[in-house]
């Protein structure tokens, strides 16, 4: 069965304390891995998409990487405004349309 697992479930950091969030997946026919940020009561906000192992994408303090079995979201010198839930999602083979299968998310809190 296709599965997406994110860890840790929750992470508390001090401002400036760098860390990484993990997304591991067990799927067949991966057609893309997506990272989203979700603030409480709001819709997910697109951050990155990765398509092949070895690919990396960066945006401000965030960097996403992809291997054959997992993806990491590295947060460098985080600020309180980076506090949010970070969601990982995968897009599967043709027969699945373009649906996304989401992990449960990592709730990140950055304290000043």
Partner 1 sequence: DSGVTQTPKHLITATGQRVTLRCSPRSGDLSVYWYQQSLDQGLQFLIQYYNGEERAKGNILERFSAQQFPDLHSELNLSSLELGDSALYFCASSVGPQNIQYFGAGTRLSVL
Q: Interface with partner 1 by CB under 8 A: which residues? A: 32, 34, 36, 41-46, 49, 87, 89, 91, 96-105
Q: Which is nearer to partner 1, 15 or 104 (CB)?
A: 104
Q: Which is nearer to partner 1, 42 or 68 (CB)?
A: 42
Q: Which is nearer to partner 1, 78 or 85 (CB)?
A: 85
97 Cβ neighbours under 8 A, 6+ residues apart = none
> How many angstroms separate the CA atoms of 112 and 109, rounded?
10
Q: CB of 3: closest distance to partner 1 in angstroms?
A: 12
> How many angstroms separate the CA atoms of 57 and 105, rounded?
19
Task: Please count the other Cβ atoms lying within 10 Å of the Cβ belonging to residue 37.
Answer: 19
> How many angstroms separate the CA atoms of 58 and 74, rounded?
9
Q: CB of 85: closest distance to partner 1 in angstroms?
A: 10
Q: CB of 43: closest distance to partner 1 in angstroms?
A: 4
């Amino acid at each position: 069965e296709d599965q997406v697992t994110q860890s840790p479930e929750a992470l508390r950091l001090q401002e400036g304390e760098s860390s990484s969030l993990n997304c591991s997946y067990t799927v067949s026919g991966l057609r893309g891995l997506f990272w989203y940020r979700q603030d409480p009561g709001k819709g997910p906000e697109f951050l990155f998409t990765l398509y092949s192992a070895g690919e990396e994408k960066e945006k401000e303090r965030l960097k996403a990487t992809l291997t054959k079995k997992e993806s990491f979201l590295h947060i460098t010198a985080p600020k309180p405004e980076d506090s949010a839930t970070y969601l990982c999602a995968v897009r599967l083979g043709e027969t699945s349309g373009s649906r996304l299968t989401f992990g449960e998310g990592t709730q990140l809190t950055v304290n000043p």
